[in-house]
Structures are given as structure tokens and as C-alpha cells.
């Protein structure tokens, strides 16, 4: 039997107000992915401590991993926890890369306040029709919807593409109009996963296509734009992982100064998944390397959660500009 509830019952908000303020204030809302309790706590505590609004984000497979019935209560638990600590920040629960109407509907019915319908692998008309169907269902329930135009390269859970296709700015107006979406993910050179670019030593990562972003912002003024695949792939974490027995050669991400620049533009939401994974993995590897006899999960997941809090605060303050905006 389905456990139906509205997001307001979980203490969540949709993304409408967050994006309106972010657009006006020249910053971006962080959207951090999570799969388990320590990640979730690390994210909300980091955001509560830096007074940042936050979008808690799960992919379809992360939702399956945590369990679809259990997951909304995790979000509610997180909201209640930070309230008990005296923090008052807006929290949204968002489906990342929803690929069917049924998945989006199931998330909305279970308490999500925002969903993405990623139809970017379909032709334009098909993508628009599918997205419209989700928007019609979502908006009746005050749930906000993110669409996508253009394809990002890289691997993220079940989403995987070899090459990226930049968003065509001339398609954006018609897509926004036809679908009624609240925000749009675009492809301007970010990429999913921890291995974003194949570069030789000494070579620079190719810069984001700010010209495409600017043209889109001119065509749909004031409309919230989303960047996926926007982890920096923090080099210190990669180094730490490799130093303590890991093997992550050639992992490389988006330079933080480019993300900071994007956050000051029409970009209102920046997705960060890989960096959170790296932070936790680096610390867990360090604990195990230094204390091979350790077998209490609190002794490795606890420090990993602490590191995630630190990382989230740093990102909010120095990359997204969302600190002190709650
Ligand atoms: Zn993505």
C-alpha cells in the first residue's frame, strides 16, 4: 500500500522561493546528493551551520537503495533535527534525474517537494511532452519541476553518456514555454562523475561555455538555470584516497572559480555529488589505514560525517555563495 503524503507534512518547501532569492542575490542553492544517514546529516548540519538553504537530492537508484518508503522520513528526521538545534533553513527534497512520469509521480506522492524529469536523451518534442505531463501533475500539488535540455557526458548512477551535447540556446524559450518547468538543467561543459575530463599532465580542464549560458540567460531573463556534474573533484581528497590504498588516478573536476562565476549568473542550483562521496571515502580509508583493527562503524562513519560537514560549509561559503542566505 502506498504511503501518500504532501511535502509540507515533512516540513519541506519547494524550490520556488529559494530560486527567486538566489536569482536576485547572485548566488546558487546547493543540491547535495545523499544515500544514507551520515551523508544526510553531514549535508543538513553543514547547511544549518552556514545558514544556507539546501536541496537534498536523491537519484532513482539512491531512493531504491535507502528504500522509497523510508526515505521521506529520513528527510523529515533531518528537518526535525536541525529545528531542535535551533536552525531555521529551508529544505527541499528533490528527485535527481527522474526518467519516467511514474517515478516522478511516486516521489511526489511520497512527499518530495521537487522533481527532475530528465528527458534530454529524447528528441525535443518527446522531451517536452513528457516534462509537461510531470509539470501538470506536480504543479497541482505545489511541487516544482526541473527539466533538462542538452546532454552531459560522464557517469552518474544509472545516467551515462560518452559525449556531451551542449544545450542549444535557441531551443530554450520554446521548451520553457511548452513545459511550464520551474528550472532547467543545461549542458555547458560540466560532466557527471569523478573522471570528468581526459587531460594530460600540465593540461588545463576545458573552460565552461559561459557564452552559451549568457545567451540562454538573455533568451529567458530571470529564469533559474541548473548545473549538474559540478563537483570540483577536490584534489586533496583524491590524493588522500590514493595515499591510503585507493586507486583514483586521473580523477578531475570543474575548477571552483568557474563554479563561483556561474553561481553569480542565472545559475540558481548547483549539483554536488562526487565531492561528498570523495570526502567520506578519503576519511574512511584514512581511518582504516591508520587503525586496521577498527570495526565500530561509528569510528569511521562519524569522522566521515564530520568531514562532509566541513566540505559543505566550505562550498556554501566559497563556491555557491549560499551561506547566510537562509
Ligand atoms: Zn545530473
Residue 51, phi then psi, degrees to nearest 5: 50, 50
Q: How far apart are CA 157 and CA 2, in angstroms?
A: 25
Question: Which segments within 34-143 are labelled E, that is strand?
Answer: 54-59, 91-98, 114-117
Those residues whose beta carbon sits under 5 angstroms from the ion ligand 1 are 228
Q: What's the CA-to-centroid distance between 290 and ligand 1, angstroms?
A: 35
The runs of H, that is alpha helices, within 140-209 are: 169-179
Cα 100 from Cα 18, distance rounded (Å)? 26
The Å distance, Cα 192 to ligand 1 centre, comes to 6
Ligand 1 centre distance from Cα of residue 191 (Å): 8
pTM score = 0.96
Helices 274-290 and 37-49: angle between axes, nearest 10 degrees: 110
Query: Looking at the annotation, which residues are catalytic?
Result: 96
Q: What is the pLDDT along the chain (326 residues), one digit of tens a residue?
A: 578 999 999 999 999 999 999 999 999 999 999 999 999 999 999 999 999 999 999 999 999 999 999 999 999 999 999 999 999 999 999 999 999 999 999 999 999 999 999 999 999 999 999 999 999 999 999 999 999 999 887 776 656 676 678 999 999 999 999 999 999 999 998 889 888 887 777 777 888 999 999 999 999 999 999 999 999 999 999 999 999 999 998 888 999 999 999 999 999 999 999 999 999 999 999 999 999 999 999 999 999 999 999 999 999 999 999 999 99
Q: Are 279 and 314 in contact (CB under 8 A)?
A: no
Which cell numbers hold the place of 235? 584534489
Look up residue 297 and give its three cell numbers: 562503524
Distance 94 CA to ligand 1 centre (A): 12
Q: How far is the CA of 194 from the centre of ligand 1 (A)?
A: 12
Amino acid at each position: 500500500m502506498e504511503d501518500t503524503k504532501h511535502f509540507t507534512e515533512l516540513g519541506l518547501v519547494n524550490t520556488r522561493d529559494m530560486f527567486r532569492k538566489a536569482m536576485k542575490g547572485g548566488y546558487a542553492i546547493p543540491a547535495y546528493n545523499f544515500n544514507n544517514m551520515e551523508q544526510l546529516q553531514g549535508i543538513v548540519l553543514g547547511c544549518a551551520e552556514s545558514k544556507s538553504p539546501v536541496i537534498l537530492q536523491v537519484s532513482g537508484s539512491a531512493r531504491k537503495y535507502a528504500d522509497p518508503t523510508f526515505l521521506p522520513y529520513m528527510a523529515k528526521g533531518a528537518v526535525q533535527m536541525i529545528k531542535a538545534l535551533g536552525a531555521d533553513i529551508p529544505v527541499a527534497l528533490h528527485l535527481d534525474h527522474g526518467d519516467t512520469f511514474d517515478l516522478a509521480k511516486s516521489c511526489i506522492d511520497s512527499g518530495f517537494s521537487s522533481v527532475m524529469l530528465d528527458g534530454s536523451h529524447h528528441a525535443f518534442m518527446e522531451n517536452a511532452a513528457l516534462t509537461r505531463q510531470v509539470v501538470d501533475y506536480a504543479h497541482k500539488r505545489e511541487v516544482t519541476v526541473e527539466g533538462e535540455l542538452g546532454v552531459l557526458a560522464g557517469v552518474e548512477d544509472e545516467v551515462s553518456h560518452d559525449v556531451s551535447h551542449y544545450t542549444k540556446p535557441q531551443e530554450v524559450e520554446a521548451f520553457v514555454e511548452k513545459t511550464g518547468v520551474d528550472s532547467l538543467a543545461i549542458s555547458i561543459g560540466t560532466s557527471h562523475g569523478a573522471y570528468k575530463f581526459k587531460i594530460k599532465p600540465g593540461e588545463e580542464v576545458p573552460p565552461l561555455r559561459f557564452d552559451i549560458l549568457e545567451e540562454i540567460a538573455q533568451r529567458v531573463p530571470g529564469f533559474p538555470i541548473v548545473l549538474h556534474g559540478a563537483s570540483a573533484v577536490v584534489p586533496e581528497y583524491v590524493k588522500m584516497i590514493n595515499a591510503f590504498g585507493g586507486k583514483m588516478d586521473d580523477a578531475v573536476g570543474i575548477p571552483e572559480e568557474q563554479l563561483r562565476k556561474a553561481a553569480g549568473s542565472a545559475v540558481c542550483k548547483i549539483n554536488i555529488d562526487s565531492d561528498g562521496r570523495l570526502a567520506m571515502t578519503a576519511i574512511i580509508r584514512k581511518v582504516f589505514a591508520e587503525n586496521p583493527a577498527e570495526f565500530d562503524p561509528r569510528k569511521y562513519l562519524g569522522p566521515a560525517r564530520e568531514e562532509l560537514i566541513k566540505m559543505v560549509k566550505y562550498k556554501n561559503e566559497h563556491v555557491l555563495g549560499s551561506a547566510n542566505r537562509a
